Amino acid sequence: MISLTNIEKVYRTDTIETLALNSISLDIAKGEFLSIMGPSGCGKSTLLNIMGLLDTPTRGQVQIADQPTQHLNDKQLAHFRNKKIGFIFQSYHLINDLKVLDNVELPLLYRHSAAKERRLLATAALEKVGLSNRIRHFPTQLSGGQKQRVAIARAIVGQPEIILADEPTGNLDSAMGHEIMDILLTLNKTEGTTIIMVTHDEIMARKTHRLVRLFDGTQVQ
């Protein structure tokens, strides 16, 4: 589903050059649930951003759903991303002055789906994360775990083949973290969604199919 070949990422400023990723090659199968661990600054977010087509590597190839991506222009990349990939972040990234339902509809707005269809799909996504009773709330009226469930609903509303999650349980207490993890595991199992998750939590990582460890931009496991 995702194939990375000899990925290298160098960040350059006037005076400093940082080798953030050093020759990473990784094949992630359809339906796989992979976690990525490693100390702060080892390149986890950079790797996730490259997989999500939010950033481009300095060297190497990125193939998503059997399609090479290096020749796509910005507009094509955005379109591809919207169709294939759902994102979840540690700090939820919800829009606070939009109701829960409208937050979840956002990715569909970009696709120009009709209003009725948007409503239907968003309602179904919120049902999947167990939040049907909060659709008219605003994000500020929700607990952290509920906010992350809204974010998951927004990530899955367009039925993406891939979900990229950057420390999805990082801001949550253990019980809520496990709730969120259970939703992701169910999604992976029942819908076959390929999930790549960055985490600092060994217990969460152990629940996934495979663990990749980075150290200083290099894959060490």
Q: Based on CB atoms, which residue is closest to ligand ADP, 46 or 103? A: 46
CB of 197 to ligand ADP, least distance (A): 13
Q: Please write down the long-range contacts of 181-188, taking CB distance under 8 Å and 24 or more positions apart.
A: 181/207, 183/128, 183/129, 183/130, 183/149, 183/152, 184/33, 184/152, 185/33, 187/128, 187/152, 187/156, 187/163, 188/31, 188/33
Residue 188 gets the label, from left (phi > 0), alpha (psi -120 to 50) or beta, of alpha
Number of H helices, E strands in the chain: 7, 10
Of 66 and 97, CB closest to ligand ADP: 97
Nearer to ligand ADP, 45 or 61 (CB): 45
Give 188's contacts (C-beta < 8 A, 6+ positions apart): 31, 33, 194, 195
Closest separation between CB of residue 117 and ligand ADP, Å?
27
Taking the least distance from each CB to ligand ADP, the nearer of 42 and 155 is 42
Residues in contact with ligand ADP by the rule CB under 6 A? 11, 18, 20, 38, 40-46, 134, 137, 141-143, 146
Minimum CB distance to ligand ADP smaller for 43 or for 168: 43
Residue 122 · residue 113 · CB < 8 Å: no
**Is residue 66 classed as helix, strand or coil in its secondary structure?**
coil
Q: How far is the CB of 83 from ligand ADP (least distance, A)?
A: 25
